[in-house]
Amino acid sequence: MSDRSLKGRVAVAGIGESRYYKHGQSPDAEFKLALQAILAACRDAGIAPADIDGFASYGNERSDASRLAAALGMRQLRSATLQWGGGGGGCCAAVANGAAAIRAGMAECVVVFRSLAQGEQGRYGQAADLATVSGERAYLMPYGVLAPPQRFAMRVRRFMHDHGVRQEAMRAIALASYRHAQSNPRAVMHGKPLDEARYDASRWIVEPFRLYDCCMENDGAAAIVLVDGARARDFPHKPVYLLGAAAGSGYRAGADPHNSPNYASANFGTLAPDLYRMAGLGPNDVGVVQSYENFTGGVVMALVEHGFFRAEEANTFLTLDNLSAPSGCLPLNTSGGNLAECYMHGFELVIEAVRQVRGTATLTVQRNDVALVTGGPMVTPASNLLLGSEATL
């Protein structure tokens, strides 16, 4: 094992969440939600909050590390990192950054977390009133490209055109997420099943995205506790190890506006090889995938770029049976994901991956030793993560 690898060097000792709410409906402030999730993760790990000495987050997280340290009674804050850019694309990178701090000796116990209260801070999916625009928006907003669905629809439509991908492939992703949410009492869409007829009758947001192709908007918080891999057995739960992680993007992926050479891409073309190389694994070793769904089309692209099937095979591979837990050939978003569990900027996907490897998910898959998480398809930087059991080391 290379000394420059994170494989097996860091483990997840605890996981925690607040209650999840529809956007604007949390009775608690964003900072309080963050504390609820962190305290839950500490209880799960069997540690005192004072044992934490580092934080990692992403996506312009507003719950400040020093304020959290004071509220939690931490003895010392030794590491505080925030992944740059990419929005939800940083959900896996934040875990990698926290793991790197531990591996480098800059911290012993790092909490990675995300908190959102959109009622308090404003909705992510709604274009704000602006007097002036600059940067990429200056090239988009004058032409009516205002909100995330409009920006990403063009990339997905190009991908569908280039490879003959049909709407049914995207529908299967939405149906799988909603099916899994019905077994997950924590899911916002628990008790609200989705079928083909309801999907097909739903309104267009912007073609090719129907209502159920788009992620939810929610309030809440989620957190994990990271420790050195050598300590993994000292905690109450089955150890879950970091096997590999990658973040970034390829050549000119961030060229504005909508001018990247590989336009119809989820931006995992360079990340997936790095991830598999660090882990010493390949797509055939992965038993379950938690893929960030800003929109279902991005999931199709992400799965292709991680080697699960060729783009031209999307229509035959992406079926509800293939994507369903526990026995599908590639169970996907087994807690409901951003579409049906909660949009916690993708961090709920990391927690579900941990549950799968532990064997404590509401729908534990048959092959649960290796779980893949992908963050923020079509954004840059994007990131990904492989978690696994001790048997995979």
Rounded Cα distance, 115 and 344, in Å: 7
Q: Which helix (H) or strand (E) holds 290?
A: strand 288-291
Rounded Cα distance, 194 and 175, in Å: 6
Active site residues per annotation: 292, 343
Rounded Cα distance, 13 and 43, in Å: 10
Cα–Cα distances (Å) from 329 to 81, 134, 255, in that order, read: 37, 45, 36
List strand residue ranges (DSSP E) for 103-217, in order. 109-116, 204-206, 209-210
Indicate the residue type of 368: N
Q: Is 295 left (phi over 0), alpha (psi -120 to 50) or beta?
A: beta
Nearest alpha carbon to residue 201 among 190, 193, 210, 191 = 210
CB atoms within 10 A of CB 372: 32
The encoded tokens of residue 192 equal 């609200």
Tokens 């970034």 belong to residue: 248
Nearest alpha carbon to residue 340 among 218, 222, 216, 223 = 216
Pair 184, 351: CB distance under 8 Å: no
Task: Note the Cα 350 to chain centre separation in Å.
Answer: 6
Pair 366, 327: CB distance under 8 Å: yes
